[in-house]
Amino acid sequence: MYIPESVEINEVVLRDGIQNDKKIVPTDDKVRLVHDLAACGIRRMEISSFVNKKLVPQMADAEELWERIERKKDVIYSALILSEKGLDRAIRCRVPHVSFFVSASETHSIKNSNKTVEEAMKEALRLIGKARDAGMGVRAGVMNTFGCAYDGKVPVSAVLKHVRAFMEREPDEIGLADTTGMANPRQSAELLKLVKDVTGDTPLSVHFHNTRDLGLANVWAAINEGVTIFDSSLGGLGGCPFIPGAKGNIATEDFLHMMHEMDILTGVDLNRFIDVSLGFEKVMGQTFPAFVTHLQKAACGC
């Protein structure tokens, strides 16, 4: 059993977390949430994607959001990029770090980006170079790594092919995303072993969904394979707009609780984070899926 001294959280509530929600979050509330997350100790967050606002209206205010946030020097602010137009917008907004993800599923690739896997990969590889020229940090990743709701099982060979192609562009990090929440711990461990043989010393991050209640079990499997960078979402919000039913990221507060109970450092104040989560519940007008938040709420009679 491997237990690291610390792990790193990439908070994705402002991108993956709310992108599929019908309630459009006011920009004022987004800005406040960015600042509150940083105050809790979150040192890395994905705060938007630059996509067609007609397809994902929640992201329509991306430029305004980037203009208004107060950027702290010790926080990595990132955006998801799916097209050259999106990258151009990010460059104009002085976004310091971007993520490029290509699906390992042909059907999902068409629905997500209107491109075949081959077309999406070719463009991503080219855009990584453009982002590098603009001085951006880059994460390159594979969606539907552990399976696809449309195409079923995804061949390991397809995932490794993507990773090898990305590694030729020397990204700062490789990411693997369980876009439809189909991963199980054994599968996660076995695939991560193979991917690490390709990535070597390049940092590896994972993005698990909790769609089938296996999110934290997959986290534990990944930790035992040496992974220390994890995407998670405040409250457990999230889901892909182009995959019906694929909702539920790992809840950041549940992830934090698990790490702290095992004496693994996160740098985040859990109690303060819970307060922020409860406040954002009021903004969204809903109760979030996270467990720890509501246990604490019940205990204090809030």
Q: What is the pLDDT of residue 125?
A: 97
Instruction: Encode pLDDT of 58-79 as tens digits.
Output: 999 999 999 999 999 999 999 9
The pLDDT confidence band at residue 144, using thresholds 50, 70 and 90, is very high
Instruction: Encode pLDDT of 263-295 as tens digits.
Output: 999 999 999 999 999 999 999 999 999 999 888
Distance between CA atoms of residues 48 and 17, nearest Å = 10
Say whether pLDDT at 186 is over 90. Answer: yes
Does residue 3 sit within a domain?
no
Amino acid 33 reads L
Does residue 151 sit within a domain?
yes
Does residue 35 sit within a domain?
yes
Q: Please report where in the chains the tokens 């061949």 appear, as a residue.
A: 155
Enclosing domain of residue 281: 8-300
Return the percentage of the chain with pLDDT > 90, whole number.
Answer: 84
Q: What is the pLDDT of residue 235?
A: 96
Neighbouring CB atoms inside 10 A of 249's CB total 29
**What CATH number should be reported for the domain holding residue 109?**
3.20.20.70
Instruction: Encode pLDDT of 5-43 as tens digits.
Output: 999 999 999 999 999 889 999 999 999 999 999 999 999
Does residue 133 sit within a domain?
yes
Q: What is the pLDDT of residue 244?
A: 60
List helix spans (H) across 144-269: 156-167, 185-199, 215-224, 252-261
Return the beta strands (E) in the chain as ranges. 8-11, 44-49, 76-81, 97-103, 137-143, 173-178, 204-208, 229-232
Q: What is the pLDDT of residue 264?
A: 98
Does residue 1 sit within a domain?
no
Instruction: Encode pLDDT of 96-136 as tens digits.
Output: 999 999 999 998 888 878 889 999 999 999 999 999 999 99
The two three-digit tokens of residue 156, written as one number: 């390991």
Does residue 64 sit within a domain?
yes
Q: What is the pLDDT of residue 243?
A: 60
Q: Domain count for the chain, please give it.
A: 1
Instruction: Encode pLDDT of 201-259 as tens digits.
Output: 999 999 999 988 899 999 999 999 999 999 999 999 986 655 665 568 999 999 999 99
Please return the burial class of 244, using the count of CB atoms within 10 Å of its CB with bins 0-12, 13-18 and 19+: exposed
The two three-digit tokens of residue 260, written as one number: 């702290």
Distance between CA atoms of residues 230 and 222, nearest Å = 9
Does residue 184 sit within a domain?
yes
Does residue 67 sit within a domain?
yes
Active site residues: 240
